[in-house]
């Protein structure tokens, strides 16, 4: 099921990722879910998309690369 709004994202995504990273996650998830039709695969694709632009810093927070 695609995510229409950022507020629909899993709590772990909303709680840990900055706003822009959440937007990346949502767009990548929706695209992958439409393409592959597998929820678990779509989540993996979405995290991979986030990790292309963001990384965890020394404090454990997600920051733009």
Enumerate the domain spans of the chain.
10-64
The whole-angstrom separation of Cα 1 and Cα 22 is 16
pLDDT of residue 1: 86
What pTM does this model have?
0.94
pLDDT of residue 46: 98
Per-residue pLDDT of the chain (65 residues; tens, 9 = 90+): 899 999 999 999 999 999 999 999 999 999 999 999 999 999 999 999 999 999 999 999 999 99
The whole-angstrom separation of Cα 37 and Cα 13 is 20
Domain 10-64 CATH superfamily: ChaB (1.10.1740.70)
**Beta bridge partner(s), residue 64:** 54
């Amino acid at each position: 099921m695609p995510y229409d709004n950022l507020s629909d994202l899993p709590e772990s995504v909303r709680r840990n990722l900055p706003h822009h990273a959440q937007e990346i996650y949502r767009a990548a998830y929706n695209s992958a879910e439409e393409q592959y039709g597998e929820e678990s695969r779509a989540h993996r694709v979405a995290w991979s998309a986030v990790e292309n632009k963001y990384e965890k810093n020394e404090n454990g927070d997600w920051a733009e690369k």
